Structure 1
Amino acid sequence: MTQIRPFTLAIPQSQLDDLHQRIDLTRWPDKETVSDWSQGTPLAELQDLVGYWRKGYDWRRCEARLNALGQYKTELQGLDVHFLHVRSPRADAVPLLITHGWPGSVIEFMGVIDALANPPAGELAFHVVAPSLPGFGFSDKPRETGWGVPKIALCWIELMQRLGYERWVAQGGDWGSAVTSAIGLIKPEGCLGIHINMPIARPEPQDLENPSPAEARALKALQHYQEWDSGYSKQQSTRPQSVGYGLVDSPVGLAGWILEKMWAWTDNSGSPYDALSRDQILDNLMLYWLPGTGASSARLYWESFNAFAPMEFTLPMAISAYPKEILPAPRKWVERSVRNLVHWGEMDKGGHFAAWEQPEAFVRELRTAFSKMA
């Protein structure tokens, strides 16, 4: 039950052939009636990406990279959890638990793992543990209710203990931020502190009367999210099963659902490819398509959408604030609930997918933050 087992990806060619056939048989909708992304993923943009997915993309490259990093599975609370585990050669390395969100995966960390584990001499090194959330990637799908953020946080604590790490730190964004924050609330023995790149804080009435420039930007972004960007969360937090049928059955439906977030949530100049390459986006999509996690990943919203709420923290916490974060929170708001803020990084570039979009800056932030805790 507590065994840690090596895991090797070897997707049968028949699954890739099935993907190609489904793409070939796509029934496309008519073109949007606007000249931008305001109605969702534009037809031409999606056809371009799917055309490359069908004829130019190489899954075996991604598969080989994941296998080379070191993949494992272990049973936690009756569920097999998939995780990457990359140990640093440095004896003084700090164990780091790093958690992704939706619509991401462990693919988000492909550009930072080596830098974290193998830094220049004199820089902080990390043993990297990157689990796939339950119902995401190659972790098992929960078959019963109750798999929300608090339970996942307890599982992650158990995972670090099972790996033999007595002193460790944790990091996350999106759902990873919620899970990491839950770990911070639990304050497990051995956890030295946490770092998040999507802090949750809310304005108080007095903030609305005379907002600072940072507060005004945050209020504008929050209003935009509520009016134009939160439909996905309402659907997934209320009817994940309904949307799941299309996401699991249609690769084009899945790509259209997720590509729009790669445009809306990255720091770009009009195209998602300003921030991420087609291969990066498709590598991530494959971790939803191959294991069929469109419904199971959406179900986490049904379980735990209220987990994104301000809470009071006393464990050491560090925060990196990226300018294009979907729910920005000015430091003034955050400090009302974070009692032990040891680092606040105000970033020049980057959006919701911090490690993916700005890997070098992300690594610098983690070294700066955790050097104040380790």
Structure 2
Amino acid sequence: MTVFEPFRIHISDNDIEDLRTRLAQTRWPSELADVGWSYGIPTAYVRELCEYWGSGYDWRSREAALNAHPQFRTETDGQSLHFTHVRSPEPGALPLVLVHGWPFEDFTDLIGPLTDPRAHGGDPADAFHLVIPTLPGFGFSGPTRRAGDAATSRSAELIAKLMAALGYERYGAQGGDAGSFIAPQLGRIATDHVVGVHLNDPITIPGWDVDGSGFSADDQAKLASMKDWNSKQTSGYAGMHSTRPQTLAPAMSDSPAALAAWVLDVVNTFKDPAKATPTDAIDRDMLLTNLSVLWFTDTAGSSMRLYKEAQAWGASLPDSGVPTGVAVCPGNNTIRGIAEQQNTLVHWSEFDRGGHFAPMEVPDLMISDLRDFFRKLR
């Protein structure tokens, strides 16, 4: 029988003080003037944020907010798995698993409206029971211990077992970034249990032999861009993660400033293009809370193994037949033609704001789209 151990976050005072000391003692590099973000994340931006992280940010209040929701840890096949489980007060609520990607996806602003729509001006018929797992190698699930345990297919297997152990025979799945591989994979391996899959800005990496002749003009432009992706400045982080994650890990593990610089440069690349910086697109304290979790659990390095171990990049993935909905934000790289080949698309939404981190950037749009999509599948 699966054992679920209640879990409560408590970071020691010593660990908090160590973080503040390291931030205060950061040796900052020089930088060129007037180059903006063209050389990477500006040191001045990171420095200002880190100064606030060390002296103004209140971890204890954010810790208390995280602990307001029931959390658990379990072990499956030798891998620890942390998850938040919030049941709706509505008896007809549909179970829904929310799957994050790299470096994080914070679903905090979705929890109340999705689990208790009646209390948030919504229709109680749209209620969900939420299961929010932390992927292996991330945060309070802890680092992976064996090669292959960070693979997206492995995460799908663990989540399917988790949902079964929780007694959910019928449920939906939602994911973005790496979650946009994991959620559809749940549909493939637990087809009789997954009623629908919702994806935001799903990653659609074309195989070298993909035929885009029947794609729309917009899709063909994205296809050409994706095939040339490795030559673009924005692909550097993924190349490092997928080939040399252990080389970068010591910097991420030893310096919170290095962790912030690396992660937030990626966030900047994929946020709402209309926003100037990551903290313009996403609440500053929300970003720092997620950085703090990676720091306190020392899992930034292990989280990157997902890129090296995932087998879904550029693969021709089979369609599970499970009804699938897609929501895309400005600046997305989602190729609809590929999404249609790999999924049974029954819902497609295009937002005029937001970015790759939609649950953190535009939670209102995500809440509305999730309700619209799953309303037809209950």
Instruction: Give matches, 1:1-374, under 5 Å.
Output: 2-32=2-32, 34-105=34-105, 108-119=106-117, 120-147=122-149, 148-197=151-200, 198-200=202-204, 202=206, 207=212, 212-213=217-218, 215-216=220-221, 219-220=224-225, 223=228, 226-267=231-272, 268-304=274-310, 306-307=312-313, 309-313=315-319, 314-325=321-332, 327-329=333-335, 331-338=336-343, 340-374=344-378
> For residue 140 of structure 2, what is the amino acid of its counterpart?
F
Counterparts of 1:143 and 1:213 in 2: how far apart (Å)?
A: 42
Counterparts of 1:67 and 1:308 in 2: how far apart (Å)?
A: 38
Counterparts of 2:275 and 2:178 in 1: how far apart (Å)?
A: 26
Counterparts of 1:346 and 1:309 in 2: how far apart (Å)?
A: 25
1:188 and 1:51, CA in 2 relative to 1: closer, same or farther beyond 3 A? same
Counterparts of 1:255 and 1:95 in 2: how far apart (Å)?
A: 34
- The 8 Å contact of residues 32 and 43 in structure 1, kept in 2 or not, is answered as no
Counterparts of 1:238 and 1:101 in 2: how far apart (Å)?
A: 18
Counterparts of 2:317 and 2:358 in 1: how far apart (Å)?
A: 22
Residue 306 (structure 1) shift: 3.9
Counterparts of 2:182 and 2:58 in 1: how far apart (Å)?
A: 32
Residue 121 (structure 1) shift: 2.8
Residue 50 (structure 1) shift: 0.4
Residue 273 (structure 1) shift: 2.1
SS at the partner of 1:194?
A: strand
1:276 and 1:225, CA in 2 relative to 1: closer, same or farther beyond 3 A? farther
- The 8 Å contact of residues 326 and 349 in structure 2, kept in 1 or not, is answered as yes
> For residue 318 of structure 1, what is the amino acid of its counterpart?
G
> For residue 31 of structure 2, what is the amino acid of its counterpart?
K
Counterparts of 1:371 and 1:164 in 2: how far apart (Å)?
A: 22
Deviations along 1:309-337, one digit per CA (max 9) or x if unpaired, are: 34221222111122222x321x3342233
Runs of 4+ in structure 1 displaced over 6 angstroms?
Answer: 203-206
- The 8 Å contact of residues 116 and 124 in structure 2, kept in 1 or not, is answered as no
> For residue 298 of structure 1, what is the amino acid of its counterpart?
M
Residue 63 (structure 1) shift: 0.5
Output the TM-score relative to the length of structure 2: 0.92
- The 8 Å contact of residues 260 and 291 in structure 2, kept in 1 or not, is answered as yes
SS at the partner of 2:331?
A: coil
RMSD: 2.1
Residue 145 (structure 1) shift: 1.1
> 287-296 vs 184-193, which deviates more?
184-193
SS at the partner of 1:312?
A: coil
Residue 186 (structure 1) shift: 1.7
Residue 295 (structure 1) shift: 1.3
Structure 1 spans left out of the alignment, 5+ residues: none
Counterparts of 1:356 and 1:191 in 2: how far apart (Å)?
A: 25
Residue 281 (structure 1) shift: 1.0
Residue 170 (structure 1) shift: 0.6
Structure 2 spans left out of the alignment, 5+ residues: none
SS at the partner of 2:304?
A: helix
1:146 and 1:230, CA in 2 relative to 1: closer, same or farther beyond 3 A? same
SS at the partner of 2:72?
A: strand
> For residue 154 of structure 2, what is the amino acid of its counterpart?
K
Residue 66 (structure 1) shift: 0.9
- The 8 Å contact of residues 74 and 80 in structure 2, kept in 1 or not, is answered as yes
Counterparts of 1:206 and 1:171 in 2: how far apart (Å)?
A: 28
- The 8 Å contact of residues 98 and 174 in structure 2, kept in 1 or not, is answered as yes
Counterparts of 1:305 and 1:34 in 2: how far apart (Å)?
A: 40
> For residue 254 of structure 1, what is the amino acid of its counterpart?
L
Counterparts of 2:269 and 2:172 in 1: how far apart (Å)?
A: 30
1:229 and 1:63, CA in 2 relative to 1: closer, same or farther beyond 3 A? same
Counterparts of 1:336 and 1:137 in 2: how far apart (Å)?
A: 34
Counterparts of 1:367 and 1:292 in 2: how far apart (Å)?
A: 36
> For residue 369 of structure 1, what is the amino acid of its counterpart?
F
Output the TM-score relative to the length of structure 1: 0.93
Counterparts of 2:308 and 2:193 in 1: how far apart (Å)?
A: 31
> For residue 110 of structure 1, what is the amino acid of its counterpart?
T
> For residue 257 of structure 1, what is the amino acid of its counterpart?
W
Identity %: 38
